[in-house]
Amino acid sequence: MNMNIRVVGVLALAMCCATVASCEGFVFGEPRLAVGVTADLGPPAVLTLAQFSTLQGIDTYIAQAAANTNYGGASTLNVASPTISPEMRALVRFEPSQVRGLDGGITGHIVLAARLVLVSSSSTYNTFSVARANAAWTETEATWGCARDSDPTDPYGVCSLAWGSPMAWGSPMSTYFASTTAGGGTVVSLDVTADVQAMVATSTATHNGWMVSGDGAFRSRENASYRPRLELLHAPSNYAPEEPASVPDLDRSTPTHTYDAMSWLLEPARGLQWGFTPGVFEVDRAGVIRGHIVERDSGDPVAGMEVSVLGHPEFGVTRTRVENGTTDASGYFELMVNGGDTYTLTFSHPDYLTAQRQIVMPWNGWLALPEVAVMERAELVG
């Protein structure tokens, strides 16, 4: 039997719970309407598509086999891995002050998702990865041999600024994880959320852009129709997500992993769980923690309380929600983690004392956390 459902919030969870054997014992708290309006909540997340043309970005590629040649004016960004040919890497940089200036200024905002989006210009492509470049290269001076080569026509190369070693910091932050076919070719999205979060964290953070490796070729900014771009989803620091107005249809005719039923929690545009490492959730293991946060004395639900797992930044964070379309706190949250382990959940909010709870998370299941009551900081000092 196919029964497609499209319902809201708590009801949707109750229904999909019925398809997951291991969710016995999963209980729902009574949804509570807030008595008062939670103050100072920011507006919902804003989706920004920031194009190079507005961010004055720069790009080029560098080639090991032509270590003193600069390709800053080329119409493609060529990449090649050492297993196939002499290595080539693309360099792309957005000016951090321009990123922070988006939408009237986003310094201090949280970055729910950021993707470096490149359009392929070749029919063959392979896995790509992105890492942060470690020197202040320029578009017209970057070569394989130097971040800034004072004379790229000089066959011997004279660095006015050398690359650090290795040329990109640490291991790649992200591997190729999504593609669609657009008019200009295959679109490759590389997750740079953590990096862009650092870029907007302060008004002075510097950033030397990204070095992309793999096999293929992309269109450069000199190719105006399909320039590289930064897709950025951000929200004010006091952001609280809304209860979802709708959730995806669920086919109840087949057994479903919790991950499959609930992966919509991870969709960036929903703004429900962010900052997780792409691909970290395992289909067989992943489960969802559901909880409710209230004020200790009043019993009123608390919105905007950040929920994270101590020692596991790879799972990202969520925050307790407001009712859909309002700023009234619902106090509910769902957080996806990998099951089969013991965790310490941390609840933090500028106005409340930080609380922690130990949990044992089952595989492929649900965990209903007993209601958490938190105390206002003001109450402590008053």
- CA–CA separation, 366 and 25 (whole Å): 9
The candidate with the shortest Cα–Cα distance to 22, out of 380, 365, 382, 269, is: 365
For residue 84, the minimal CB distance to Ca ion (Å) is 23
Conformational region of residue 104, where left means phi above 0, alpha means psi within -120 to 50, and beta covers everything else: left
What DSSP letter does each residue of 142-200 carry, written as one string? Answer: --SS-SEES-TTSTT--EEE---SSSB-SS-SEE--EEEEETTEEEEEEE-HHHHHHHH
> Within 10 A of 247 (CB to CB), how many other CB atoms are there?
21
For residue 189, the minimal CB distance to Ca ion (Å) is 20
Stretch that binds Ca ion, among 80-88, 188-196, 214-222, 333-341 (CB under 5 A): 214-222
Residue 64: strand, helix, or coil:
helix
Binding-site size, Ca ion (CB under 5 A): 3
Is residue 323 within the footprint of Ca ion (CB under 5 A)? no
Q: Are strands 273-274 and 366-368 parallel, antiparallel or unpaired?
A: unpaired
For residue 74, the minimal CB distance to Ca ion (Å) is 7
Is residue 141 within the footprint of Ca ion (CB under 5 A)? no
C-alpha angle with apex 232: 230 to 238, nearest 5 degrees? 155
For residue 139, the minimal CB distance to Ca ion (Å) is 5
For residue 252, the minimal CB distance to Ca ion (Å) is 51
Is residue 327 within the footprint of Ca ion (CB under 5 A)? no
**Comparison of 130 and 322: residue with beta carbon closer to Ca ion:** 130
**Comparison of 12 and 117: residue with beta carbon closer to Ca ion:** 117
Is residue 220 within the footprint of Ca ion (CB under 5 A)? yes
Within 80-109, which residues bind Ca ion (CB under 5 A)?
none
For residue 123, the minimal CB distance to Ca ion (Å) is 22
Is residue 174 within the footprint of Ca ion (CB under 5 A)? no
Is residue 59 within the footprint of Ca ion (CB under 5 A)? yes
Stretch that binds Ca ion, among 102-110, 130-138, 155-163, 216-224 (CB under 5 A): 216-224
**Maximum Cα–Cα distance for the chain, whole Å?**
74
Is residue 193 within the footprint of Ca ion (CB under 5 A)? no
For binding to Ca ion (CB under 5 A), which residues are involved?
A: 59, 72, 220
